[in-house]
Structure formats: structure tokens, C-alpha cells
Amino acid sequence: MELRHYKDALDCLNECEVEAGDKVADVFFRRSQVRTYNKLSSDEDFKLALFDIKKAISLKPEIKIYNEHLEILNKIIEKNEKTELERTKSKH
């Protein structure tokens, strides 16, 4: 992920989920990060990122960084929605 090889990171994390099931919260947290920080992520990717971080929090609610990431992700989603709304208004 640090090298910005997001597709490779996502593939690895998907494989980790297959192996570990839904028992390892950090898999979901990292996969959410990959989708959040990839500049090519779509709205669907952000929805999946949101699902993943919520899953991580449900498994380990005491981990502070998970909740911090959720806040960041919510701000990004809100900003994207606002930008899309402004684009739509400017077309009309």
C-alpha cells in the first residue's frame, strides 16, 4: 500500500480474508485504507471501504485508529457527495 500498488494490496488482503475468515479485524481495516486512499476509487469502492471499517470496528471496537479512519472516510464520502451535487447543479 505504501508503494501505491493498490490493486496488489487489495488482492493480498482479499486472499487474507479467504484464509482468516472474518476473525482478523486488521484485514478489514487495511482493505478499507487501500480503497480510501486510492485516488482511482469509485463511489462503490468507498461504500466497500465503509463496510470494511465498520466490520473491523465490530470485531475490535477498542482500537482507536479504526474509529479515526472511519471519521476520515466519512469526511471523504461527504466531500465527494457535495462535489457531485455541485456538479449536477452546475449542469442545469
pLDDT at 2 over 80: no
Cα–Cα distance measured from residue 7 to residue 79, given in angstroms and rounded to the nearest whole number: 24
The verdict on residue 64 lying in a domain is yes
Cα–Cα distance measured from residue 68 to residue 47, given in angstroms and rounded to the nearest whole number: 17
Say which DSSP state 38 is in.
-
The verdict on residue 57 lying in a domain is yes
pLDDT value at residue 6: 93
Q: Which three cell numbers stand for residue 48?
A: 466497500
- Is the whole model's pTM more than 0.95, yes or no? no
Our count of domains for the chain comes to 1
Domain that holds residue 39: 6-91
The verdict on residue 1 lying in a domain is no
Q: Say how many C-beta atoms besides its own lie within 10 A of residue 80's C-beta.
A: 14
- Dump pLDDT digits (tens) for 9-66: 999 999 999 999 889 999 999 999 999 999 999 999 999 999 999 999 999 999 999 9
The verdict on residue 24 lying in a domain is yes
The verdict on residue 21 lying in a domain is yes
Most confident of 3-17, 58-72, 75-89: 58-72
The verdict on residue 63 lying in a domain is yes
Say which DSSP state 5 is in.
-
